[in-house]
C-alpha cells in the first residue's frame, strides 16, 4: 500500500461500524461487501473522489480569498507541490477505501509556458498516478481537460470565435484523453464550462453549434483511433459561468448529440446541483437520460435552497438521494459510470479531518439511499402503479396506433365506430407520494 502522506491526523482506513455508531471516522451504512439486489454495495455505488474540489480548491469565494492554506498550495516549485498533492490524494483514497477518483488536467499539474510544457507536466504527474495505482485499489473513473479556467477560454473552447483557441483546446483534450486511456480510465468527460454566450449581440449561434458538433466528433474519432474502450461523457449545466450554456440539460444535450450524429456514441454525466439549476430534479435528469438511452454516470452533490448558484455541497438528504438511486437502479445501474463526489467542504471547514468526514458522511447518505431504493425495486409497488396506468397500451388495437401505417383517418374511424368516450382517471399522485414516503419509515 502507499505510505501515509502525514497530512491526515489518522491514516487508518475507515471501517463499517453499523447504524448505531456515532464515530465520524467510521461508516454507519456503507458496508461495501453487503449484497444488495445481487451485487456488492461497493459495486453498485462505485464511489469516486473529485481531485479538483478535494485537493485544488483553496476555499475562496466572490467576496474573499483562500481559507484552506494546504501545504501543497504554495511554494517555489509547482511540480514539487503537485507531487506532494498526489501523495495526499492517494492517502485520502486509501483512508476512504474508494474504488475510483477523477481529475482535470489543471487539477493535477501546473500550466506551463507552452502547451508542450503543460502537457509534459500533466504526464509527469500521471506517471506518478500510474505507479501509485499499482499498489492501490483506487482506479480512474474519468479524466477531463480544463477548457474554462485560463483566460484564453473566456469565450469558450470548442465554440470560441478564435480558431486558434479551438485548436488549442483540441490539442489539450488529445493529451488528456490519451493519458486517461493509458491510466485505464473508464470514461472521459467533456464539460463545456464556457461553451455558451453572454449576449446574442456578438454571437453566431449556428456557427458555434457547428464548431461544437465537429469538436465532439473529433473526440469520438480519436477515442476509436487510440483504442480507448471507455465511455465519452458530456456533463450538462444550464448557466454559470456563462449566461446560457449549450449543454443546458439532458434533453438539450441529447438534441446536440443528434445534431452531431453522436447519440449512439456519447452518454451523459449528470450532476445533482446542475439539474436543480436547470429547474429540474436530479431524479428527473437521470430518468430522462435513461429514457433517451444516454445515462452514463453522476456527479453527486447538492445545492443550497437559499443560494442561486452552484454551491457543490456534499449530499445530506437521504430521501432526495434515494429517489435518484431508484432511477439509476431502474435504468440498470452503472456500467462504466459511478458516483463521483463533485463536492467541496465549506470554506470554514479548514481542518484535514473535515475532508475525511465530509466524504464518509456522504458515502453513508448514498449507501442508505441505495438500500431504500433497493426496497422500492424489490417491493415493486411503485412500478406496478406505473404499469397499471399504461396498461391500456398493451391491447393490440392500441399498440397498432403507434405502428407504421396508422393514420389519423384510421384512428378517427375507430373512435367513431366504437363510440369511444374516454373519461379521465386519477393520477393518484398523493397516494404514490405517500407510498414512496413509507419506504423511509
Q: Is 107 one of the annotated active-site residues of the chain?
A: yes
The answer to the question of whether 23 is labelled as a binding residue is no
The answer to the question of whether 271 is labelled as a binding residue is yes
The answer to the question of whether 111 is labelled as a binding residue is no
Pair 275, 284: CB distance under 8 Å: yes
Catalytic member of 107, 247, 249, 364: 107
Could you give the CA distance from residue 117 to residue 172 in angstroms, rounded to a whole number?
11
Could you give the CA distance from residue 95 to residue 82 in angstroms, rounded to a whole number?
20
The answer to the question of whether 312 is labelled as a binding residue is yes
The answer to the question of whether 181 is labelled as a binding residue is no
Where are the extended beta strands (E) located within 300-435? 339-341
Pair 440, 372: CB distance under 8 Å: yes
* Dihedral (Cα; 18, 24, 25, 31), 10-degree rounding: 30
Place of cell 438511452: 293
The answer to the question of whether 164 is labelled as a binding residue is no
Given CA atoms 38, 321, 290, 431 in this order, what sign does their dihedral have?
positive
Could you give the CA distance from residue 273 to residue 235 in angstroms, rounded to a whole number?
12
Catalytic member of 44, 53, 104, 284: 104
15: DSSP letter = E
The answer to the question of whether 285 is labelled as a binding residue is no
Closest to 86 (Cα-Cα) out of 68, 101, 64, 66? 101
Place of cell 450524429: 261
Q: Are strands 47-50 and 339-341 parallel, antiparallel or unpaired?
A: parallel
Closest to 49 (Cα-Cα) out of 338, 309, 270, 334? 338
Where are the extended beta strands (E) located within 28-128? 35-36, 39-40, 47-50, 100-104
3-state DSSP call for residue 318? helix
Assigned C-alpha cell, 35: 449484497
Residues with active-site annotation: 104, 107
Indicate the annotated binding residues for Mg(2+): 235, 271, 274, 299, 310, 312, 342
Indicate the annotated binding residues: 235, 271, 274, 299, 310, 312, 342
Amino acid at each position: 500500500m502507499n505510505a501515509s502522506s502525514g497530512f491526515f491526523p489518522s491514516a487508518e482506513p475507515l471501517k463499517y461500524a453499523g447504524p448505531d455508531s456515532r464515530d465520524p471516522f467510521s461508516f454507519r451504512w456503507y458496508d461495501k461487501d453487503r449484497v444488495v439486489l445481487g451485487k456488492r454495495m461497493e459495486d453498485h455505488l462505485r464511489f469516486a473522489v473529485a481531485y479538483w474540489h478535494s485537493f485544488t480548491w483553496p476555499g475562496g469565494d466572490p467576496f474573499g480569498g483562500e481559507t484552506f492554506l494546504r501545504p501543497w498550495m504554495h511554494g517555489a516549485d509547482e511540480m514539487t507541490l503537485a507531487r506532494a498533492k498526489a501523495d495526499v490524494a492517494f492517502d485520502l483514497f486509501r483512508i476512504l477505501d474508494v474504488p475510483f477518483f477523477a481529475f482535470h488536467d489543471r487539477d493535477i499539474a501546473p500550466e506551463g509556458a507552452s502547451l508542450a510544457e503543460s502537457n509534459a507536466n500533466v504526464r509527469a504527474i500521471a506517471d506518478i498516478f500510474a505507479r501509485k495505482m499499482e499498489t492501490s485499489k483506487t482506479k480512474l473513473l474519468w479524466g477531463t481537460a480544463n477548457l474554462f479556467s485560463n483566460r484564453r477560454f473566456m469565450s469558450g473552447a470548442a465554440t470560441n470565435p478564435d480558431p486558434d483557441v479551438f485548436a488549442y483546446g483540441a490539442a489539450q483534450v488529445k493529451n488528456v484523453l490519451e493519458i486517461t486511456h493509458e491510466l485505464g480510465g473508464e470514461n472521459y468527460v467533456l464539460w463545456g464550462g464556457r461553451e455558451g454566450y453572454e449576449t446574442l449581440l456578438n454571437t453566431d449561434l449556428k456557427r458555434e453549434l457547428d464548431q461544437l458538433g465537429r469538436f465532439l466528433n473529433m473526440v469520438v474519432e480519436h477515442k476509436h483511433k487510440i483504442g480507448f474502450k471507455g465511455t465519452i461523457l458530456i456533463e450538462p449545466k444550464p448557466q454559470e459561468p456563462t449566461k446560457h450554456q449549450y449543454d443546458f440539460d439532458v434533453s438539450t444535450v441529447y438534441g446536440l448529440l443528434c445534431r452531431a450524429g453522436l447519440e449512439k456514441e456519447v452518454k451523459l454525466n449528470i450532476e445533482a446541483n446542475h439539474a436543480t439549476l436547470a429547474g429540474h430534479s436530479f431524479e428527473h435528469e437521470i430518468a430522462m437520460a435513461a429514457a433517451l438511452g444516454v445515462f452514463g454516470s453522476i456527479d453527486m452533490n447538492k445545492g443550497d435552497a437559499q443560494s442561486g448558484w452552484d454551491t457543490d455541497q456534499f449530499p445530506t438528504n437521504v430521501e432526495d438521494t434515494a429517489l435518484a438511486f431508484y432511477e439509476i437502479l431502474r435504468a440498470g445501474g452503472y456500467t462504466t459510470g459511478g458516483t463521483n463526489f463533485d463536492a467541496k467542504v465549506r470554506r470554514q471547514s479548514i481542518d484535514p479531518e473535515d475532508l475525511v468526514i465530509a466524504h464518509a458522511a456522504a458515502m453513508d447518505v448514498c449507501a442508505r439511499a441505495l438500500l431504500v431504493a433497493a426496497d422500492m425495486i424489490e417491493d415493486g409497488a411503485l412500478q406496478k402503479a406505473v404499469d397499471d396506468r399504461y396498461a391500456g397500451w398493451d391491447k393490440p388495437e392500441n399498440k397498432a396506433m403507434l405502428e407504421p401505417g396508422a393514420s389519423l383517418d384510421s384512428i378517427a374511424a375507430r373512435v367513431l365506430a366504437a363510440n369511444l368516450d374516454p373519461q379521465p382517471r386519477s393520477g393518484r399522485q398523493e397516494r404514490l407520494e405517500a407510498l414512496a414516503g413509507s419506504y423511509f419509515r
